[in-house]
Amino acid sequence: MSKKLFIETLGCAMNVRDTEHMIAELRTKEEYELTESLEEADLIIINTCSVREKPVAKLFSEIGVFNKKKKEGAKIGVAGCTASHLGEEIIKRAPSVDFVLGARNVSKITEVVGKKHAVEVSTDYDESTYAFGEYRTNPFKAMVNISIGCDKACTFCIVPATRGEEISIPSDLLVQEITKAVESGAKEVMLLGQNVNNYGRRFGAVEEKIDFTGLLQKISGIDGLERIRFTSPHPLHMDDAFLEEFASNPKICKQIHVPLQSGSTELLKAMKRGYTKEWFLNRCEKIRTLCPEAAISTDIIVGFPGESDEDFEDTMDVLEKVRFDQLFSFKYSPRPHTEAATYDNQVPDEVASARLTRLQKRHTEILDEIMDAQLGKVHKVYFEELKPGNCVAGRSDDGKLVFVEGSEELLGKIADVKIVKTSRGALDGVVLSGS
């Protein structure tokens, strides 16, 4: 009889891919069926995120709850970035945890699963030639890691400490992996990396000369692959050649994440982001010029140490100028192993909260205008999920969530959809006949 696996995934897209990889790896050794019920699981894995403090604090209370609810003999594993940065301490604080598996070590899941109190958290482990497992959360879309780790040293960010040195996966392996996914029904690929457009910086065992633009061109040659997305690029590496490829390659979806973090050049310097406010605005202008239909999303941190009112006004100014289609905004959270956590000019919490509220409120107004303007537009939508009530959900080329009336036959199809109703979070449309 197959075992039952309950797996909770927190954090970023790379964690979602790591979860898929762990499922695939486990299934090479034993039959595992996924379950949503904690009580019936034989194996419970929490794939954690440590980018901000809150989810880390939540982890230990969650382990307590899981331990109470789980059936006799069921195992609990903690994987991901919090596993990397706390390591053995997790077992010390919560002895009910059976194994700890760092974000860089997910390939070792089958080795640790049978051992009591195994801890694998080395960030030196080189999986650059490792083909990631064949399991997809969504059968219509493939997620593919093109690089792992991060070589930047943004002073607020714990990721370089948890995921280790940046290594690119050889392009032939990537083409193989994507081709297989396409053969099994995926028309879309999401290329993943903490610093995705820095691809090619360092390979592990294999030497080759290719950059991200070259990789995009190579991958576009795969027959049957219709859509390419990628996350997260770094503004610093958005050179003209890359933006021109983004704009002109018909397979590349016209959605781009340009993580700002702060609009203040001085703060960007303190964050060690490597670009200025002017460079950021220039890159966004270039995107708008080359590709006016592109949706631009961003990440913003408020309350970074030393952030003055003027610094924050610079951030608001960039928001007004770029008018992002999507905003992920966070209050700065001091993290271990980061430089900024040692700065003595931390911003009071109430000041950071007030700034976050103002930023989000203004963005909401902008978003309402952007979404209202979609009325009557025609989008190419890739349908990927059935929803209750004879409804099918998909994504437009520029990443917007679109609902239409319909049934299973639409799944896995790309069709022209006319938008008939708009709201802040999604669009309603009708499939145009003949699509």
Comparing CA positions, the residue from 102, 24, 20, 38 lying closest to residue 76 is 38
CB 113 within 8 A of CB 26: yes
Q: How far is the CB of 146 from ligand F3S (least distance, A)?
A: 14
Select from ligand F3S, ligand SAH, none the partner in contact with residue 332, using the beta carbon and a kind-dependent cut-off of 5 to 8 Å: ligand SAH
* 3-class state of residue 207 by DSSP: coil
If the CB atoms of residues 52 and 234 are measured against ligand F3S, the closer one turns out to be: 234
Positive/negative CA dihedral, 103, 329, 197, 246: positive
Residue 234 as a binder of ligand F3S (CB under 6 A): the answer is yes
Q: How far is the CB of 11 from ligand F3S (least distance, A)?
A: 12
**C-alpha span between 434 and 167 (Å, rounded):** 45
* Piece of the chain touching ligand F3S by CB under 6 A; list 153-161, 178-186, 287-295, 402-410: 153-161
Q: How far is the CB of 159 from ligand F3S (least distance, A)?
A: 4
* Piece of the chain touching ligand F3S by CB under 6 A; list 152-160, 275-283, 328-336, 376-384: 152-160
If the CB atoms of residues 222 and 340 are measured against ligand SAH, the closer one turns out to be: 340
CB 84 within 8 A of CB 46: no
| DSSP single-letter state for residue 108 | G
The torsion of the CA quartet 136, 137, 138, 142, rounded to 10 degrees, works out to: -40
Q: Which residues of 201-226 are buried (b: 16+ CB within 10 A; e: fewer)?
A: eebbeeeeeebbbbbbeebeebeebb
Please identify which residue in 160, 193, 303, 429 interacts with ligand F3S, judged by CB under 6 A. 160
- Inter-helix orientation angle 212-220/171-183, to 10°: 30
Residue 162 as a binder of ligand SAH (CB under 6 A): the answer is no
Residue 232 as a binder of ligand SAH (CB under 6 A): the answer is yes
If the CB atoms of residues 160 and 263 are measured against ligand F3S, the closer one turns out to be: 160
Residue 154 as a binder of ligand F3S (CB under 6 A): the answer is yes
Select from ligand F3S, ligand SAH, none the partner in contact with residue 160, using the beta carbon and a kind-dependent cut-off of 5 to 8 Å: ligand F3S
Residue 195 as a binder of ligand F3S (CB under 6 A): the answer is yes
Query: 183: number of CA atoms within 13 Å, CB side?
Result: 7
Select from ligand F3S, ligand SAH, none the partner in contact with residue 299, using the beta carbon and a kind-dependent cut-off of 5 to 8 Å: ligand SAH
Comparing CA positions, the residue from 136, 120, 238, 228 lying closest to residue 181 is 136
Please identify which residue in 125, 279, 330, 343 interacts with ligand SAH, judged by CB under 6 A. 330
* Piece of the chain touching ligand F3S by CB under 6 A; list 62-70, 148-156, 246-254, 305-313: 148-156
Q: How far is the CB of 242 from ligand F3S (least distance, A)?
A: 16
Residue 261 as a binder of ligand SAH (CB under 6 A): the answer is yes
DSSP one-letter string for 25-94: HHHHHS-EEE-S-GGG-SEEEEEE--SSHHHHHHHHHHHHHHHHHSPTT-EEEEEEHHHHHHTTHHHHH-
Which x/- pattern, by CB under 6 A, does the window 188-207 give for ligand SAH? ------xx------------
The torsion of the CA quartet 87, 92, 93, 94, rounded to 10 degrees, works out to: 90
Q: Which residues of 292-302 are buried (b: 16+ CB within 10 A; e: fewer)?
A: eebbbbbbbbb
* Piece of the chain touching ligand SAH by CB under 6 A; list 85-93, 317-325, 327-335, 346-354: 327-335
| The residue type at 343 | Y
- Applying CB under 6 A, which residues contact ligand F3S? 150, 152, 154, 157, 159-160, 194-195, 234
- Applying CB under 6 A, which residues contact ligand SAH? 51-52, 156-157, 159, 194-195, 232, 259, 261, 299, 301, 330, 332-333, 335
